Amino acid sequence: MEPVQWLILLAAVAGVLILADGLRRARRTVRDEQQKHDRTAFGEDAAMPAVPHRVADEPAAPVVAADSDSLPLACSRIGPRLRVVGHIETAESLVVAGRVEGRIEADGQVVTLLQGASTGPFLHARQLIAAGHLSGRAVVTERASLLAGACCEGQLDAARLDCREGARLQGRSDVGEVDADRRPRKMLAKRQAAL
């Protein structure tokens, strides 16, 4: 190959490397902006240190803070500017930063209400971590954690309840053994009629 051809090949390789680096930097900038937006939208105040929570015959399970850095990667997210009206049924964890006006059924999953989020009138989940506003009825088969700033109005049925200082629980709570199918009678009647 002639020297001119080597220079052209070298220039082509350098151009490809420059384009690849530009794409990498652009993706990083978008990711950083999204994380910055999440931190400001979800509120830095929602971050709390993990506190160990032990129940007899159960290994230690930390109660996580409801902030964007401690959220599971595989989950459905409802953003802070999103308002959902209707029924949500999910087979993965759910993170709510906006408003949900309707039923949330996350059987066997974790539902996280971030600071500024609101939901109601019905929620069913394995675990609830709340820093936002919950109204209506919530059925939690394992642990419900109300963090500082959380507001729960209505009825809360949970196997275990962790209520932090600054959280508000207004209404009725039933703490103890929770049946997985413990739902409002209308919902049970609809499900049985559908079968």
Let me know if residue 107 belongs to a domain. Answer: yes
**Do residues 66 and 34 share a domain?**
no
Which pTM value belongs to this model? 0.58
**Residue 51: both structure tokens together:** 């506190």
Please tell me what DSSP assigns to residue 162: E
- Based on the domain organization, do 96 and 19 belong to the same domain? no
Helix, strand counts (H, E) of the chain: 2, 11
Task: Kindly report the backbone phi and psi dihedral angles of residue 42, in degrees, each rounded to the nearest multiple of 5, phi listed first.
Answer: -85, -20
Number of separate domains in the chain: 2
Question: How do residues 2-53 score in pLDDT, each as one tens digit?
Answer: 888 888 998 999 999 998 888 888 888 877 777 666 665 555 444 433 333 3
Range of 21's domain? 1-42
Q: 96 and 184, same structural domain?
A: yes
Mean pLDDT of the chain: 78
